[in-house]
């Protein structure tokens, strides 16, 4: 089986919540879109476009034939200046072009939040214990930025960019509908409040690289080569053979099973190196189902 790779760039049309962890009453967000989130949104949208109710079957077809990278915020509508996670000296940060920036600085550009609470219908006051705050990736830059060659004005649009991989053996429903599915897309948490709306900038166009890294598309899985001291750009299964500097976290998500109870089923947790982790040597990874990377060892 071989693959074709397509680069996509979206304009964010509303803030977006990419669930990470809960600290107190704050639901934190990641600063990127995971492959699992994309898989869930694609499964839902393609199933509806095909007038089907077979979500499980469509999800399996997407696992097999439509892989994705993670998607990252970028400065421009062409997707040429992404904001990529990068660990240096065991400290998380971000790389923009060739500049390494502290995580706290970049997060001030992009992370906003909203707070809400339930109302007690008897007293018309806040329900005790119901106050919560949700972090969001803003759809507009929050500050003026003029440093390290980066020039952005507060209020400028935020874009998201990444790559889709389509198997040459993909069934007709996936081949026919995936481009329709991503034209106007909604993804992430709190969608009932209108968050997570994305609009595709231009038709997906073929590519042979992912954020400057070489892609090999002739095998059973898409393959990517990461150079020495370069960051990985997805969660990668933690194997003893890997020599990495970064953060290991259990990676899991909520899924809807055969009983159709939304989000009730938890996926199996996998210990993974988090995006931004740097490799101590040249390493090749397979891009597996739901965007997870697995090293060749």
Summarised one tens digit per residue, pLDDT across range 58-79 is 999 999 999 999 999 999 999 9
The pLDDT of residue 205: 93
What SS3 state is found at 219?
coil
- Output the DSSP codes for 61-123: HHHHHEEE--BEEESSTTS-SBEEEEEETTEEEEEETTEEEEHHHHHHHHEEEEEE--B-TTT
CA-to-CA dists, residue 143 to 25, 54, 140, 154, angstroms: 26, 45, 9, 4
CB 237 within 8 Å of CB 248 = no
Q: What residue ranges define each of the domains in the chain, with the CATH number in brackets?
A: 3-117+128-295 (3.30.70)
The pLDDT of residue 101: 92
The pLDDT of residue 127: 66
Q: Whole-model pTM? A: 0.90
Low pLDDT (below 50) residues in the chain: 262
The pLDDT of residue 239: 85
The pLDDT of residue 191: 84
- Output the DSSP codes for 222-263: -EEEE-TTPBPSS-EE--TT--EES-EEEE--EE--TT--TT
The pLDDT of residue 22: 82
Cα gap 110→194, rounded to integer Å: 18
For 236-266, what is each residue's pLDDT tens digit? 999 877 888 898 988 875 555 555 554 555 5
- Tokens encoding 29: 């967000």
Left if phi > 0, otherwise alpha if psi is -120 to 50, otherwise beta: which for 286? beta
CB 31 within 8 Å of CB 85 = yes
The pLDDT of residue 194: 84
């Amino acid at each position: 089986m071989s693959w074709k790779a397509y680069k996509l760039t979206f304009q964010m049309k509303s803030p977006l919540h990419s669930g990470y962890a809960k600290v107190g009453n704050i639901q934190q967000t990641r600063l990127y879109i995971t492959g699992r989130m994309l898989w869930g949104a694609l499964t839902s949208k393609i199933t509806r476009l095909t007038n089907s109710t077979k979500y499980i079957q469509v999800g399996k077809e997407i696992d097999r034939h439509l892989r994705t990278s993670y998607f990252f915020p970028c400065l421009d509508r062409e997707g040429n200046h992404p904001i990529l996670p990068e660990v240096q000296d065991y400290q998380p940060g971000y790389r923009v072009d060739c500049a390494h920036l502290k995580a706290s600085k970049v997060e001030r550009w992009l992370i906003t939040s909203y707070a809400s609470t339930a109302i007690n219908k008897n007293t018309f006051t806040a329900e005790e214990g119901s106050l919560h705050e949700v972090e969001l990736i803003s759809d507009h830059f929050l500050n003026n930025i003029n440093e390290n060659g980066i020039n952005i004005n507060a209020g400028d649009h935020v874009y998201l960019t990444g790559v889709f991989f389509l198997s040459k053996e993909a069934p007709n429903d996936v081949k026919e509908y995936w481009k329709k599915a991503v034209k106007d897309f909604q993804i992430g948490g709190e969608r009932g409040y209108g968050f997570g709306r994305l609009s595709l900038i231009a038709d997906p166009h073929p590519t042979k690289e992912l954020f400057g890294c070489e892609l090999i598309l002739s095998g059973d899985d898409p393959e990517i080569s990461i150079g020495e001291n370069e960051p990985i750009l997805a969660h990668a299964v933690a194997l003893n053979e890997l020599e990495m500097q970064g953060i290991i976290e259990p990676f899991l998500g909520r899924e809807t099973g055969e009983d159709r109870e939304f989000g009730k089923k938890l996926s199996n947790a996998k210990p993974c190196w988090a995006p931004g982790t740097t490799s101590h040597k040249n390493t090749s990874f397979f891009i597996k189902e739901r965007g997870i990377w697995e090293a060749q060892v």
